[in-house]
Amino acid sequence: MPLNHDVIGVESEPVEKSWTSKDTLLYAVGVGAGLDDPAEELAFTTENSAGMRQRVLPTFAVLAAQGGGGRELGDFDRAMLVHAEQGFELHRPLPPAGSVRITSKVTGIYDKGSGALVVSEALAVDPETSEPMITSRSSLFIRGEGGFGGSRGPAAEWKSHDWPPDHQVTYRTRPEQALIYRLSGDRNPLHSDPAFAARAGFPRPILHGLCTYGVTGRALLHTLADSDPARFAAMSGRFSAPVFPGESLTVSMWVDGDTAMFRAAKDDGTVVIDRGTVRLNQ
């Protein structure tokens, strides 16, 4: 059954979503906060440490803005679906516990030949005031669903760099990182079930793309924004290769005023998040 192109541009019904302090703490641990030094990121991993208040990692915005209902894309093999791109804009820092009202829509389905790229956008607003809190944009690549003769989509603009980065940091992940991260809501067996991962063509379960994204976001936050979520305005990137739990990520950053370009790569040089952009508030 082909993908349902009638969903393009159809806004979902509003959905309310809430989170607790426990959810934001679990998310922080799920993306590796405190791994090398448990005392290093206590503002994000504890709610009762002396002299500090709990804060929320900016990349939690992606999870907070998920959940807008919509029409079905069609019948396809879920093992052929991978997260291709993710971006978000924070209109204000997120509280440790809170709620949003979410609407979402598919903005395009593009023909990439070997598969289809499904692009979506979600807006999360304050349920009481309707003020924007998060704008989230994501793309899913579905292998085997291309070749329908549609547009390939707009070309993304990103300035490549052939000079050394201004900053470069390396963060580890845990061998059981995916088992922790999945508790934040993404129970896709691709990240836990060896048999399901094998059917998708992987030798073992892979790390969630959004976990890789969150680890990278921590590197950007601590290196470029002095660990202050209020300075973190927006982040986007393209997932270019899988990461296996236990592998390390090196994030390279090229700074240009209040923006920076970045890439995340594994120890062997394989780029796993490409065409990255982060924007900071002064």
Catalytic residues: 186, 191
Residue 75 half-sphere exposure, CB side, CA atoms within 13 Å? 1
DSSP bridge pairs for 134: 90, 124
**Amino acid making up residue 5:** H
**Residue 92 DSSP label:** S
> Rounded to an integer, what distance in angstroms lies between the CA atom of residue 254 and that of residue 193?
37
Cβ within 8 Å of residue 48, ≥6 positions away = none
Q: Which two tokens stand for residue 234?
A: 């927006």
Q: What angle separates helix 209-224 from helix 21-30, to the nearest 10 degrees?
A: 90
Our CA dihedral for 119, 234, 56, 94, rounded to 10 degrees, sits at: -80
Amino acid at site 72: E
